[in-house]
C-alpha cells in the first residue's frame, strides 16, 4: 500500500495539510493499492504563492534558458521511463502499447515546445506599433485521469515556453502516476516555484485553483460539465481559459472505402485508450448499401482487440479506470438495448472468463438512430454505435448533429471526395484514411468540445498576451 501525502511546492516535496484521503486501486484486480491525501485550500494558496513569488524573474528568463529547461524536462522523463510506465500500468491498467506511447509522447511534447519557442514570432511591428508577446502571469492546469502524464507535461511545456510559472492539480485518481512524475520532473532542476503540483479533488482543490485571484490563466482538460464550472469560476477575475473537453467523434466510411483495410482502423479509433479517449471515433457512419458487409468485417476484426490486464503483452483493451466508470459504461450498454439498438458484439458485464477487474466487453451497437442517447452522449468506454446513412450529405449532417466537435474521421477511396467531406465537418480535427497525428498542429474542439487550442504555436499563444508599444 502506497501512502501519498506530498505535494510539490516551491521546488520541495511537502505534506498536504489536510487529513482527508482517497483510496487508489489497481483497476485490473480491484485491489486497493494506496491512498492519496487530498489537499485543502491552504495547500492551493501555498502553491499559488510559490508560483507568484517566482513570476517576475521567470517572466524575464531569456528564450535560450527556457529552451534549455524544456530539453532538461524531456531528458528527465526519458530517464524515468520504466518507473512512469510501471506506475501507469499499476494504477491505470492500460495495455503496454498505450503506456509506452503515452510516456514517450509526454517526453516529446517538451522538445516540440522547444522548437516552437525557437521559431515563434515573439516581436513584430504593425505600422508604428511594436507588438511583443508576453507571458500572462501565474498559470493553473487541471487534468483528467485518462492520460495523466501526457496532459500534465503538455500544459507544463506551454507554461515554461511562455515564461509562466504553473500550479497543476492532476486527477485524484492518478496520484501514484503524479508522484512518480513529480519526482522525475524535479530532476530537471527548474527554478523553485516554476512547477507546483497539488494533489486533491475537484470540489476543494480544483475549485480553489480555478477561482484563485492570483491565477491569470487556467488550462483544463476534462469533462464538459467541469469545463463549465471552471469557466464560471474564472469569470470573476477574467481568467484566460483553455478548455479541452469531451467528444463524440464520427467515423464516416464513404461507400468507395476499402472495407477490408478500413475495419481494423475504425475499431482502433473507437477503442483507443480502452475507449477512454476524448478523440475516440465512437459513431461509425456507414452507407446503408454497405452496412451489412461492413458489420461482418468489424465483427471479424474484433479478434485483434483482446481485453486484458496490463501484465498481458497481447492485451489491446484494458480495464475502465474505476468502479464508477465501469458502472457508467454498463448503464449505457443497458440504455442502448432499452433504446432499441441491436447488440452486434459484446454486451453487458465482463468479457467471458473474467471474474475480476473493471473490464468491459468491447461492444458494437448497430441499427442506431442518431437521436438515441448512446449516439449523442460521451460513454467513455469501448462501446461504439453503427449508424447507417443514405448519401454523403446525410453522413455529413449526422456527423455534425452533435453538441461536440473535437475529432472526426473520414475513410474513402477518392482523395478529392474525402477532402470535400472533411471540409464540411464541424470539428477541430479531421483525420483522413488513418493519417498520423501532427504534433505541431493545433489541438482542440469546436462547439462544446472546448475553447482554445493546445500544442505548437497556437498552444503557446494561448499562454501569452500581446503588449503593444506605440512610439
Give catalytic residues, as residue numbers.
244, 278
The greatest distance separating any two alpha carbons of the chain, rounded to the nearest whole angstrom, comes to 75
Q: Which residues pair with 197 in a beta bridge?
A: 8, 168
Separation of alpha carbons 302 and 310, rounded Å = 19
- Among residues 46, 113, 210, 384, which is the contact residue for ligand NAD, using CB under 6 A? 210
Cα 315–chain centre separation: 21
Separation of alpha carbons 15 and 424, rounded Å = 52
* Pick 290 or 447: Cβ nearer ligand NAD: 447
The stretch near ligand NAD (CB under 6 A) out of 2-10, 240-248, 287-295, 327-335 is 240-248
Separation of alpha carbons 367 and 259, rounded Å = 19
Do 433 and 135 form a contact (C-beta atoms < 8 A)? no
3-state class of 258 per DSSP? coil
Q: How many residues bind ligand NAD (CB under 6 A)?
A: 29
* Pick 418 or 449: Cβ nearer ligand NAD: 449
Question: Regarding beta strands 2-4 and 32-37, do their DSSP bridges make them parallel or antiparallel, or are they unpaired?
Answer: parallel
Question: Regarding beta strands 249-253 and 407-411, do their DSSP bridges make them parallel or antiparallel, or are they unpaired?
Answer: parallel
| List of residues 6+ apart from 116 with CB closer than 8 A | 161, 440, 456, 457, 459, 460
Per CB under 6 A, contacts with ligand NAD among 107-146 are: 142-146
Q: Is 176 in the site for ligand NAD (CB under 6 A)?
A: no
The stretch near ligand NAD (CB under 6 A) out of 30-38, 59-67, 169-177, 179-187 is 169-177
Which has the closest alpha carbon to 404: 279, 267, 303? Answer: 279
Q: Is 106 in the site for ligand NAD (CB under 6 A)?
A: no
Smallest gap from residue 282 Cβ to ligand NAD (A): 10
Q: Is 39 in the site for ligand NAD (CB under 6 A)?
A: no
Q: Which residues pair with 343 in a beta bridge?
A: 365
Smallest gap from residue 247 Cβ to ligand NAD (A): 6
Interface mask toward ligand NAD for 268-297; x: CB under 6 A? ----------x-------------------
- Among residues 44, 207, 364, 383, which is the contact residue for ligand NAD, using CB under 6 A? 207
* Pick 210 or 364: Cβ nearer ligand NAD: 210
Give the helix/strand (H/E) hosting 156: helix 148-162
**Count helices and strands in the chain by DSSP H and E runs:** 15, 21
Smallest gap from residue 277 Cβ to ligand NAD (A): 7
Backbone dihedral region for residue 444 (phi beyond 0: left; psi -120 to 50: alpha; all else: beta): left
Instruction: Give CA angle at 405 (402, 409), nearest 5°.
Output: 100
- Among residues 91, 112, 179, 244, which is the contact residue for ligand NAD, using CB under 6 A? 244
Smallest gap from residue 407 Cβ to ligand NAD (A): 9
Helices 291-301 and 259-271 cross at an angle (nearest 10°) of 60
* Pick 107 or 206: Cβ nearer ligand NAD: 206
Do 285 and 389 form a contact (C-beta atoms < 8 A)? yes
* Pick 172 or 295: Cβ nearer ligand NAD: 172
Interface mask toward ligand NAD for 370-399; x: CB under 6 A? --------x-x-------------------
* Pick 405 or 412: Cβ nearer ligand NAD: 405
Give the helix/strand (H/E) hosting 160: helix 148-162
Separation of alpha carbons 259 and 270, rounded Å = 16
Q: Is 229 in the site for ligand NAD (CB under 6 A)?
A: yes
Q: Is 38 in the site for ligand NAD (CB under 6 A)?
A: no
Q: Is 251 in the site for ligand NAD (CB under 6 A)?
A: no
* Pick 308 or 459: Cβ nearer ligand NAD: 459
- Among residues 221, 274, 330, 427, which is the contact residue for ligand NAD, using CB under 6 A? 221
The stretch near ligand NAD (CB under 6 A) out of 11-19, 202-210, 312-320, 429-437 is 202-210
Q: Is 202 in the site for ligand NAD (CB under 6 A)?
A: yes
Give the helix/strand (H/E) hosting 323: helix 323-339
Separation of alpha carbons 167 and 403, rounded Å = 31
3-state class of 169 per DSSP? strand
The stretch near ligand NAD (CB under 6 A) out of 5-13, 160-168, 220-228, 359-367 is 220-228
Q: Which chain residues interact with ligand NAD by CB under 6 A?
A: 142-146, 169, 171-172, 201-202, 206-207, 210, 221-223, 226, 229-230, 244-247, 278, 378, 380, 406, 445, 450
Amino acid at each position: 500500500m502506497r501512502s501519498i501525502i506530498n505535494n510539490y511546492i516551491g521546488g520541495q516535496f511537502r505534506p498536504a495539510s489536510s487529513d482527508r484521503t482517497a483510496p487508489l486501486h489497481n483497476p485490473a484486480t480491484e485491489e486497493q493499492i494506496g491512498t492519496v491525501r487530498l489537499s485543502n485550500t491552504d495547500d492551493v494558496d501555498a502553491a499559488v504563492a510559490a508560483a507568484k513569488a517566482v513570476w517576475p524573474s521567470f517572466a524575464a528568463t531569456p528564450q535560450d534558458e527556457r529552451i534549455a529547461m524544456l530539453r532538461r524536462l524531456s531528458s528527465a522523463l526519458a530517464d524515468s521511463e520504466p518507473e512512469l510506465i510501471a506506475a501507469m500500468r499499476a494504477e491505470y491498467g492500460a495495455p503496454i502499447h498505450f503506456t509506452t506511447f503515452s510516456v514517450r509522447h509526454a517526453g516529446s511534447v517538451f522538445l516540440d515546445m522547444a522548437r516552437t519557442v525557437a521559431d515563434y514570432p515573439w516581436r513584430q511591428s504593425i505600422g508604428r506599433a511594436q507588438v511583443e508577446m508576453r507571458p500572462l502571469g501565474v498559470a493553473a492546469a487541471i487534468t483528467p485521469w485518462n492520460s495523466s502524464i501526457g496532459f500534465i507535461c503538455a500544459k507544463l511545456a506551454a507554461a515554461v515556453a511562455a515564461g509562466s510559472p504553473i500550479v497543476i492539480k492532476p486527477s485524484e485518481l492518478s496520484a501514484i502516476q503524479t508522484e512518480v512524475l513529480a519526482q522525475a520532473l524535479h530532476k530537471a532542476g527548474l527554478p523553485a516555484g516554476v512547477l507546483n503540483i497539488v494533489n486533491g479533488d475537484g470540489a476543494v482543490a480544483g475549485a480553489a485553483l480555478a477561482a484563485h485571484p492570483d491565477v491569470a490563466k487556467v488550462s483544463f482538460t476534462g469533462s464538459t460539465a467541469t469545463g463549465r464550472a471552471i469557466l464560471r469560476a474564472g469569470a470573476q477575475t477574467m481568467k484566460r481559459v483553455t478548455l479541452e473537453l469531451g467528444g463524440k467523434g464520427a467515423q464516416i466510411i464513404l461507400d468507395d472505402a476499402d472495407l477490408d483495410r478500413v475495419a481494423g482502423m475504425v475499431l482502433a479509433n473507437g477503442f483507443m485508450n480502452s475507449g477512454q479517449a476524448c478523440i475516440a471515433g465512437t459513431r461509425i457512419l456507414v452507407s446503408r448499401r454497405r452496412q451489412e458487409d461492413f458489420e461482418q468485417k468489424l465483427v471479424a476484426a474484433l479478434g485483434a482487440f483482446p481485453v486484458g490486464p496490463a501484465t498481458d503483452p497481447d492485451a489491446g483493451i484494458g480495464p475502465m479506470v474505476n468502479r464508477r466508470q465501469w458502472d457508467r459504461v454498463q448503464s449505457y450498454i443497458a440504455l442502448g438495448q432499452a433504446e432499441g439498438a441491436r447488440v452486434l458484439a459484446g454486451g453487458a458485464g465482463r468479457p467471458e472468463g473474467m471474474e475480476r477487474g473493471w473490464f468491459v466487453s468491447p461492444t458494437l451497437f448497430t441499427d442506431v438512430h442518431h437521436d438515441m442517447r448512446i449516439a449523442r452522449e460521451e460513454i467513455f468506454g469501448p462501446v461504439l454505435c453503427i449508424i447507417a446513412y443514405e448519401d454523403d450529405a446525410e453522413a455529413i449532417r449526422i456527423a455534425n448533429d452533435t453538441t461536440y466537435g473535437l475529432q472526426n474521421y473520414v475513410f474513402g477511396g477518392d482523395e478529392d471526395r474525402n477532402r470535400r467531406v472533411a471540409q464540411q465537418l464541424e470539428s477541430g480535427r479531421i483525420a483522413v484514411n488513418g493519417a498520423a497525428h501532427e504534433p505541431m498542429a493545433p489541438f482542440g474542439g469546436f462547439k462544446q468540445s472546448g475553447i482554445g487550442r493546445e500544442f505548437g504555436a497556437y498552444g503557446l499563444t494561448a499562454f501569452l498576451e500581446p503588449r503593444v508599444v506605440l512610439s
